[in-house]
Amino acid sequence: MQIVNSQNAFQIPDEGTCITVGTFDGVHLGHAEILRFLKSLSDQKKIPALVFTFGNHPRYVLKEDAAELKMLTTSDEKARLIGNFGIDYLYVQDFTPEFAALQAEEFVSEILIGKLKMKSLVVGHDHLFGKDRSGNFALLSELSDKYGFSLIQIPAISNEGFNVSSTKIRNLLAAADIQLANAMLGYHYSFTGKVIKGFGIGRELGFPTANLKPLSAQKILPPPGVYIIKATHDGDSFEGIINIGRRPTFEGDQIQVEAHLFDFDKVVYGELLTIEFLLFLREETKFESIDLLIQQIRKDRDCAFKYFGRIC
């Protein structure tokens, strides 16, 4: 898949493109349905498939709750997930105030058709676009007749009775509902962090941890608590548990991310770990003694052992 920034010139094939447009944060099950159809249409028409997306979420520019908005995927993660569908081009538009001011028809005629040679457009059930999100499927239907491109709308994808959306998945993660969030994503939610030096408390307790600093401050981190996880380091996978929180038993005041990985004894300061969240175990608790804390960590570990089918 070729990744092209809107500021860079590149040559579109003369035969034109099949296009879909969207933010695609999370590349969840609903997005997957659109991308699979786009690829199928591209193969049928024998013209390249192009995904038009944004380098920064539009809400950061439009200032709609921008301070609170966290993302499901970084730009690199989104590109990797989209690339898995066999897409030919990922066109990354810089979302600027100038771009936000484009009228809906201008966006279609000047960019999708004029610049990207669109022959077919695939959109989701709730796709809105253009200045003030004034463009909708009804307008696209008129424009498809006017400019001669084919138009396909993909219906909503449901899971557990709810339409799948990035907003719903963000809310689920914020509520620590990891399993339903993963079900809507179609994969395990994850983040990548750099291993940093901690306070060494976990090792003193008999449960050494890798202390992590997430690479992206804009990416969602589930709320404080203990979770069952899988971690990837240098291509190898490890099972474990992770604690996110302030360590109230030790009167901590800063959020710490501490992963205890089974069968892992490497020194990896400065290196990267990718953490996949599998299951929420419990909320963070302040214990009256260190012994009670150790007992609870053993219970957490044993729960994880059972989850992975290990013998305690």
Confidence (pLDDT) at 64 = 61
Low-confidence ranges of the chain (pLDDT < 50): none
In angstroms, the CA 149 to CA 163 distance is 28
Confidence (pLDDT) at 23 = 93
In angstroms, the CA 91 to CA 116 distance is 9
0.85 cut: is pTM over it? yes
First to last CA, the chain: 45
CA atoms within 13 A on the CB side of 144: 17
Confidence (pLDDT) at 201 = 72
Confidence (pLDDT) at 248 = 73
Confidence (pLDDT) at 131 = 82
Confidence (pLDDT) at 74 = 95
Asked if 25 and 78 touch (Cβ cutoff 8 Å), the reply is yes
Q: What is the mean pLDDT of the chain?
A: 90
Confidence (pLDDT) at 311 = 64
Taking the CA atoms of residue 97, residue 98, residue 100 and residue 104 in that order, the dihedral angle to the nearest 10 degrees is: 170
Distances (CA, A) of 271 to 3, 34, 188, 219: 27, 36, 22, 19
